[in-house]
């Protein structure tokens, strides 16, 4: 390619904040999909992931859309999303299924569950490298670029009003979005640096600890704890894991949990609870998502309760790994159910997606 920027380019990142900052910021919805940088140089299109890998083979419908809807020579930063059938919200689980090794399945899914793209930055246009240009100016040029894109290509909504951003933060989650971004209007594009701010939902839940995986550094250290919640039928469902512990604490936890280890078939996940619940003590079994990562676990009697912080759910599981807050020795495991979780108010995704070229609100 003869563009002023060529792949791979590491995307600019964001640091977390507890609240929406005030100041010289533009605010945008935080989309929940695959962060991607798109390069188009005439007849060539390259879609790269956050880590610089090509995504072309997984999203042929987007390769075609970029070739038709973007300027002949440009570099655009944005998010690949998948809209749930019916058009009401995003569906990250369906999006993950698009990353499949079989070409025939990729082609089938491209027709059955086609992806879309939301643009939120313009890094290069024709012979111009725009990464040193203030974001406010890049946004103006992006609006012009996206004005005639149409189809599966969208321009992210934007506002300069923090109160409006606060309203988005509360309401857009119901459409499957992940929070709000704040971007310095005078800021340059800094690849790999945390120069943006993200504000995500933080909630707490009391979960049952029903198993553990050992740490890669040794079989006498906890790598992660498997978490469960009881559904309306009293069945303990696997909802995710927590694993961010200091090394010394990993050893202590291993010793603390040994009295709860059980290989009794009465364990609620003895028949398997998805890929993450295998009754083999150690295994090299993997999946297309984890490569050779060990997916086995050691089952525990579901007697201990832990309070965790999480952002939101994706179906019956935590969308991102939650974080440990404290042990809840005062909580009865049987009372740790889905009914404790806060449910976002439903919001139609059509109210979030903006027509290309629409000015900031």
| Dihedral pair phi/psi, residue 129, rounded to 5° | -85, 115
Q: Is 198 a catalytic residue?
A: no
In the chain, which ranges are continuous DSSP H helix? 60-69, 92-97, 103-112, 135-146, 162-171, 247-257
Backbone φ/ψ region at 85: left (φ over 0), alpha (ψ -120 to 50), beta: beta
Instruction: Tell me how far apart the alpha carbons of residues 73 and 6 are, in angstroms, rounded to a whole number.
Output: 11
CB distance 101 to 288 below 8 Å: yes
3-state secondary structure of 171: helix
Amino acid 347: pLDDT: 83
Instruction: Give 291's contacts (C-beta < 8 A, 6+ positions apart).
Output: none
13-200, what's its fold? D-amino Acid Aminotransferase; Chain A, domain 1 (3.30.470)
240 or 289, greater pLDDT: 240
Amino acid 268: pLDDT: 86
Render pLDDT for 44-78 as a digit per residue (tens, 0 to 9).
999 999 989 999 999 999 999 999 999 999 999 99
- In sign, the C-alpha dihedral spanning 157, 159, 164, 168 is positive
End-to-end CA distance of the chain: 36
Amino acid 287: pLDDT: 33
Instruction: Give 91's contacts (C-beta < 8 A, 6+ positions apart).
Output: 82, 83, 84, 176
Band of residue 167 on the pLDDT scale cut at 50, 70, 90:
very high
Q: Which of 120, 161, 115 is nearest to 143 (CA)?
A: 120
| Dihedral pair phi/psi, residue 298, rounded to 5° | -100, 120
Q: Would you kindly state where each structural domain of the chain is located, as residue ranges?
A: 13-200, 203-340
Amino acid 312: pLDDT: 84
Rounded average pLDDT over 130-138 = 98
Band of residue 354 on the pLDDT scale cut at 50, 70, 90:
low
203-340, what's its fold? OB fold (Dihydrolipoamide Acetyltransferase, E2P) (2.40.50)
Amino acid 361: pLDDT: 53
What number of other Cβ atoms are within 10 A of residue 105's Cβ? 12
Q: C-alpha 232: how far from its chain's center?
A: 27
Q: What is the mean pLDDT of the chain?
A: 88
CB distance 12 to 183 below 8 Å: no
Catalytic annotation, pick one of 18, 30, 84, 88? 30
Amino acid 90: pLDDT: 92
Task: Record the pTM.
Answer: 0.74
Radius of gyration of the chain (CA): 22
CB distance 222 to 41 below 8 Å: no
| Dihedral pair phi/psi, residue 306, rounded to 5° | -125, 140
């Amino acid at each position: 390619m003869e563009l002023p920027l060529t792949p791979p380019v590491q995307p600019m990142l964001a640091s977390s904040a507890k609240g929406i900052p005030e100041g010289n910021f533009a605010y945008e919805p935080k989309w929940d999909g695959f962060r991607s940088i798109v390069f188009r140089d005439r007849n060539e299109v390259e879609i790269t992931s956050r880590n610089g890998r090509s995504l072309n083979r997984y999203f042929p419908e987007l390769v075609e859309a970029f070739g038709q809807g973007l300027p002949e020579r440009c570099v655009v930063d944005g998010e690949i999303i998948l809209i749930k059938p019916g058009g009401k919200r995003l569906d990250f689980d369906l999006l993950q299924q698009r990353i499949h090794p079989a070409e025939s399945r990729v082609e089938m899914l491209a027709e059955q569950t086609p992806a879309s793209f939301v643009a939120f930055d313009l890094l290069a246009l024709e012979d111009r490298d725009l990464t040193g240009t203030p974001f406010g100016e890049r946004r103006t040029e992006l609006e012009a670029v996206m004005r005639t894109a149409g189809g599966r290509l969208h321009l992210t909504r934007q506002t300069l009003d923090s109160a409006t951003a606060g309203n988005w933060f509360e309401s857009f989650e119901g459409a499957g979005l992940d929070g709000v971004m704040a971007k310095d209007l005078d800021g340059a594009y800094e690849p790999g640096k945390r120069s943006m701010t993200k504000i995500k939902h933080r909630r707490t839940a009391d979960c049952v600890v029903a198993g553990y995986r050992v740490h890669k550094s040794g079989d006498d250290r906890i790598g992660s704890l498997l978490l469960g919640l009881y559904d309306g039928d009293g069945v303990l469902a696997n909802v995710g894991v927590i694993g961010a512990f200091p090394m010394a604490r990993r050893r202590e936890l291993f010793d603390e949990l040994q009295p709860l280890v059980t290989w009794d078939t009465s364990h609620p996940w003895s028949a398997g609870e998805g890929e993450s619940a295998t009754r083999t003590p150690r295994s090299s079994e993997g999946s297309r998502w984890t490569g050779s990562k060990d997916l086995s676990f050691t089952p525990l009697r579901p007697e201990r309760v832990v309070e965790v912080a999480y952002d939101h759910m994706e179906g019956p599981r935590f969308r991102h790994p939650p974080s440990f807050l404290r042990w809840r020795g005062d909580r009865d495991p049987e009372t740790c159910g889905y009914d404790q979780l806060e449910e976002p108010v439903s919001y139609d995704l059509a109210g979030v997606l903006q027509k290309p070229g629409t000015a900031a609100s």
